[in-house]
Amino acid sequence: MVTVSAIHTASTQNNMAAVGSLVNSLTSLWRQQCARTCLPHLFVCISFTGSILKPTGLVPESYFSNSRNVLNLYFVKVSWGWTIILLLPFIFYSNLYNRSHTFMLRRLTSLLVATFIWYTCTGTFFYIEDITGSCYASDTMQVIHGEITTKAACRKAGFIWDGFDISGHSFILTYSSLVIVEEMVPMLHIPQSHRNICLDCLYIALNAIVAIWIWMFGCTSVYFHDIIDKVIGTLCGILGWYLTYVVWYPMPFSPGLPPQQKQHA
């Protein structure tokens, strides 16, 4: 007679097998070198293409053209929080395979560096918008309130601020995606026998976040901001990734790169 416990055990095993199968499919995708090396180029292409399409009206209004859509409110607006919450445990687990705790702790400092870059860039964008902008009574841009000198104060007063608004969305979605993809590399070389359900679920969640970021980056490109705002934001995201993972992290005195295949061998 089949017991409830046996049914539960079989169901759990099936679920774990499904998760493992999905992880294997995702790792097969990211093992394609072009999938990773072409990602910065993809963001630049999407930014330019979306910016060209935006004034033509060829892309119709949709649920995602409203900035209050669910993905924007609960994911993009707090995108760096999602990035840290998922990457912190993932780096902890994935960087411990065949490596020391010292190496893992050193690698975790890459999140401090990334957070510093995020904070500095977004703060700089806000500052530039403040010093280049003016506060207007309406969208006709005719009545100026010169006594209000910041975007926050202008909006609090119920007016409209117009300044050089570098796209923070373009920056953070580009930068976060590139950082996540770099940090997911160890999963390509960890044997399935050494993985656990927690690591597998974190990996799936990180892939889902990257998919959401790319989708919302496309929506930003076709629905919001001027082309120069989006291109500068995108290039800042790529530059932040390039200066760390390509230029600095391969050097000895750095957080180091995520474990590569030869390090797992």
The residues assigned a catalytic role are 169, 225
- Whether 178 and 246 have beta carbons less than 8 Å apart is answered as no
- List the single range of 63-67, 117-121, 142-146, 251-255 with lowest mean pLDDT: 142-146
Question: In sequence order, which ranges of 31-134 are alpha helices (DSSP H)?
Answer: 33-37, 39-53, 70-74, 79-94, 101-132
Indicate the domain borders of the chain: 1-248
Spatial CB neighbours of 213, under 8 Å, sequence gap ≥ 6: 76, 79, 173, 176, 177
pLDDT digits (tens, 9 = 90+) for 163-204: 899 999 999 999 999 999 999 999 998 888 788 899 999 999
Condensed to tens digits (0 to 9), the pLDDT of residues 53-62 reads 888 878 888 9
231 and 165 in contact (C-beta within 8 Å)?
Answer: no
pLDDT digits (tens, 9 = 90+) for 98-132: 788 888 899 999 999 999 999 999 999 999 999 99
Between the alpha carbon of residue 178 and those of residues 19, 91, 236, the distances in Å are: 24, 15, 12
Count CB atoms within 10 A of the CB of residue 70: 9
Let me know: does 72 contact 216? Beta carbons within 8 Å.
yes
